[in-house]
Chain A
Amino acid sequence: MLDHQFVTPALDRSVSLRRQITTQAMQIFAGWGYREIQIPLLEHFDSLKSGLDEDQIARSFRFVDRAGNLMVLRPDVTPAVAKTYAYQLRSAPLPLRVSYSNKVVRIERAFVGAQLESYQVGLELIGAEGLVADVEVLLIVLELLERLGLKRFQINLADHKAASLLLSATGAPSRFRDDVEDAILARDPDEVRSILNGLGTRTPIVEAIAVMASLEGGLQKIDLIERLLPNEVALKKRLDYLRKLEQAMADLGYGEQVRVDLGEIDGPGYYTGIGFSVVAEGAGRRLARGGRYDELIGLFGQSTAAVGFSFSLEAVVELLHPQAGSSASRRQPGDAVSIDPKDPVAGLRIALERRRQNLPTRVVVQSGDKRDKP
């Protein structure tokens, strides 16, 4: 649980809460052997752009510096970490575990213009592939969620590769493929059928994608897709992997919290394997998002597998703020130290002594004005 004893009664309590969550997250990441990395906020656009998708570029802030270079304020941490690894850390022994607490600058689509800067805390596991690496990352997410004191949360697990195999199988031109992907993200099976039937896609593929777009998740959806497309070997391999991953999480005691949800394939375009998002009761938006990106680092240098996630601190703070607020706004009984302005040192000495014992302390200067009295 978050330690609320010393939540600073700041004008904006979310600041102190954000700091606390960051500290807690970084402690957990360090506990799993992740070392903190600092990434510059300002990057040369040309050096970063190969790692950004069209949407990220559209939402980024770019400008020309005094030397005429096109610069960008980092819109996402993961491509910047991938670039740093490829250029500066490639001699480091693998797997490399890095964590970060950084600011990103971008126009958040959902809150157009309202939110430009946001804070992310997350990690990247570079040079590790397979089930163990994916489970490790999911376990860290779960530990952080538990330590934040959340009870009703869930990780939705999908596979970007499976989705892209299915979308390729439609034979649809890329413009229509984007529309189908949007329909999957919107959990709109009617729209999926409407687009693909119009293009003459084979019925089993249309139905498999409609299953992917359905509101219901769970392993039975994997079974259904396999029954519809029994001869798609590559797809079956990916679905088997998801099944194994879900089983591994269930064996570790997280069967309730981790759930396959094949339609959860949004996020940046660099994800190539599993993808996941974290939702919690009471939060209006996702708390975290992550996934495997085995091809991103290869865009900057030598191809290296990697998986990672990031928490949106704004979303977490928004969720925890009411709980923390009620606790923080309560004044601790007996925390006031009354100081006589005629002899301040005596009072301040008491305050100092209380702080040395780590007791909550609030300095109150005595005056004729009632408002200043404790």
Chain B
Amino acid sequence: MTSRDRLRIALPKCAELPAICEQFRACGFPVPDLSTAGLHLIKDPINCGFDFEIFRLAAPDVGTYVEHAISHVGIMGTDLLRESDAEVWRPLTFPYGKYPLVFAAPRGESIASLSARPQIRIATPYPRYTRELFAHRGLAAEIVAVSDSTTACLLGLADGYVDRLTDPQSLLDHDFRVVELLGYTRLKLIVNRACWARRRIAIQLLVQRLELHQPLPPAEIFIPFDDEDDLQLVRPWEGESEASEGSDEAEDSVG
């Protein structure tokens, strides 16, 4: 059971944690070093009538803690949120933590060539989402749940993978290409859905404060599609930000 006059915020252990802490600091939260375990008490910095308890959690667990109101507020990516199927509110989208969610395969492969096989195996850290995706398209695919999908493909465990694209260079180095852009994952502030009035007002104030201090979004991640003409020669993400094929698709959050 949580304390009455405190509002707990669960921050995820992820690559965006420093940016998250920085944004909270900009909002007036003296966020301490979160490498030490436990709850860090922060006396009401936004004058909302609640003190805050900030703590760090494994990124996939944040939704569960918030859904069960152990933490009132948390931060989670829509990829993991969708996978955990946690029923929470998502009132704020952070400008960072936006990654393309892609279906990638070794260079030369296409959806047609893969689906012509009697059985394809797809590696992914998002088995639930991927299973639904392929079932929806009527493709018979065996879904292999792994945390490192590139290695799974390199060692022959799978024919392709569905994952976030965080580093296009690594994808090219392994001679993989994006077969399809499936959408974008976004980082969201998540809130327990059974908030009582006063607590909800405090969370609204927090959301407003975070909106005021949203940093500029980072540059879009280049998506290396299987297009032989430019890939070997031009690396646009290193130079000018040339729009890549498919980048004009409607932003479709995965969550």
Q: Say whether A and B bind each other.
A: yes
Chain A residues within CB distance 8 Å of chain B:
109-110, 112, 152-154, 186-191, 194, 197-198, 214-217, 256, 259, 279-286, 322
How many Å from the CB of B220 to the closest CB on chain A? Answer: 15
Partner of B199, one of A109, A189, A281: A281
Given contacts A109-B85, A215-B91, A284-B68, contact A191 B194 (CB under 8 A): no
A188 to B82, CA, bound (A): 14
Q: Is B89 touching A281 in the complex (CB atoms < 8 A)?
A: no
A279 to B192, CA, bound (A): 11
A281 to B50, CA, bound (A): 14
Does B56 interact with chain A (Cβ within 8 Å)?
A: no
A214 to B203, CA, bound (A): 12
A287 to B49, CA, bound (A): 25
Q: Is B250 touching A279 in the complex (CB atoms < 8 A)?
A: no
A191 to B78, CA, bound (A): 11
A217 to B195, CA, bound (A): 12
Partner of A283, one of B4, B69, B88, B207: B69
Q: Is A110 touching B90 in the complex (CB atoms < 8 A)?
A: no
The A-contacting residues of B in range 58-89, CB under 8 angstroms, are: 67-70, 85-89
Q: Is A153 touching B89 in the complex (CB atoms < 8 A)?
A: no
Does B197 interact with chain A (Cβ within 8 Å)?
A: yes
How many Å from the CB of B138 to the closest CB on chain A? Answer: 16
Does B233 interact with chain A (Cβ within 8 Å)?
A: no
Q: Is A187 touching B91 in the complex (CB atoms < 8 A)?
A: yes
Closest to A282 in B: B1
Given contacts A154-B196, A279-B196, A284-B69, contact A186 B89 (CB under 8 A): yes
Hey, which chain B residues are within 8 Å of A110, CB to CB? 67, 86-87
Q: Could you count the A-B residue pairs with CB atoms below 8 Å apart for me: how many are there?
A: 79
How many Å from the CB of B72 to the closest CB on chain A? Answer: 10
Q: Is A215 touching B203 in the complex (CB atoms < 8 A)?
A: yes
How many Å from the CB of A200 to the closest CB on chain B? Answer: 10
The A-contacting residues of B in range 4-39, CB under 8 angstroms, are: 4
CB-defined A-B contacts under 8 Å, sample of 14:
A187-B89, A189-B91, A191-B253, A191-B255, A194-B251, A194-B252, A198-B251, A214-B91, A215-B200, A215-B204, A259-B197, A282-B4, A284-B192, A286-B193
Q: Is A154 touching B90 in the complex (CB atoms < 8 A)?
A: no
Closest to B66 in A: A284
Q: Is A152 touching B194 in the complex (CB atoms < 8 A)?
A: no
Hey, which chain B residues are within 8 Å of A109, CB to CB? 85, 87
Q: Is A322 touching B250 in the complex (CB atoms < 8 A)?
A: no
Q: Is B90 touching A191 in the complex (CB atoms < 8 A)?
A: yes
Q: Is B253 touching A215 in the complex (CB atoms < 8 A)?
A: no
Q: Is A194 touching B195 in the complex (CB atoms < 8 A)?
A: no
- The size of the chain B interface, using a CB distance under 8 A, is 36
Q: Is B1 touching A322 in the complex (CB atoms < 8 A)?
A: yes
Given contacts A187-B89, A215-B200, A284-B68, contact A279 B195 (CB under 8 A): yes
Given contacts A194-B252, A194-B253, A198-B250, contact A285 B88 (CB under 8 A): no
How many Å from the CB of B170 to the closest CB on chain A? Answer: 28
Given contacts A198-B250, A215-B191, A215-B204, contact A152 B198 (CB under 8 A): yes
Q: Is A190 touching B204 in the complex (CB atoms < 8 A)?
A: no
Closest to B64 in A: A110
Does B93 interact with chain A (Cβ within 8 Å)?
A: yes
A152 to B191, CA, bound (A): 19
Partner of B207, one of A154, A215, A282, A284: A215
Q: Is B188 touching A283 in the complex (CB atoms < 8 A)?
A: no
Most buried by B among A256, A279, A284: A284
Pairs of residues from A and B, 10 with the lowest C-beta to C-beta distance, nearest first: A284-B69, A198-B250, A187-B89, A281-B196, A215-B91, A188-B90, A279-B194, A190-B93, A186-B90, A154-B197
Closest to A199 in B: B250
Most buried by B among A112, A152, A153: A152
How many Å from the CB of B36 to the closest CB on chain A? Answer: 27
How many Å from the CB of B254 to the closest CB on chain A? Answer: 10
Hey, which chain A residues are within 8 Å of B70, CB to CB? 284
Q: Is A188 touching B188 in the complex (CB atoms < 8 A)?
A: yes
Q: Is B91 touching A188 in the complex (CB atoms < 8 A)?
A: yes
Most buried by A among B88, B196, B252: B196
Partner of A194, one of B67, B69, B250: B250
Closest to A152 in B: B196
Most buried by A among B2, B87, B90, B92: B90
Hey, which chain B residues are within 8 Å of A284, CB to CB? 67-70, 192, 194
How many Å from the CB of B88 to the closest CB on chain A? Answer: 7
Hey, which chain A residues are within 8 Å of B87, CB to CB? 109-110
Q: Is B204 touching A280 in the complex (CB atoms < 8 A)?
A: no
How many Å from the CB of A71 to the closest CB on chain B? Answer: 28
Hey, which chain A residues are within 8 Å of B193, CB to CB? 285-286
Mark contacts of B215-255 with chain A using CB atoms, 8 A cut-off: 1 yes-contact digit, 0 otherwise. 00000000000000000000000000000000000111101
Q: Is B194 touching A187 in the complex (CB atoms < 8 A)?
A: no
Hey, which chain B residues are within 8 Å of A214, CB to CB? 91
How many Å from the CB of B14 to the closest CB on chain A? Answer: 20
Hey, which chain B residues are within 8 Å of A281, CB to CB? 4, 196, 198-199
Given contacts A198-B250, A283-B69, A322-B1, contact A186 B88 (CB under 8 A): yes
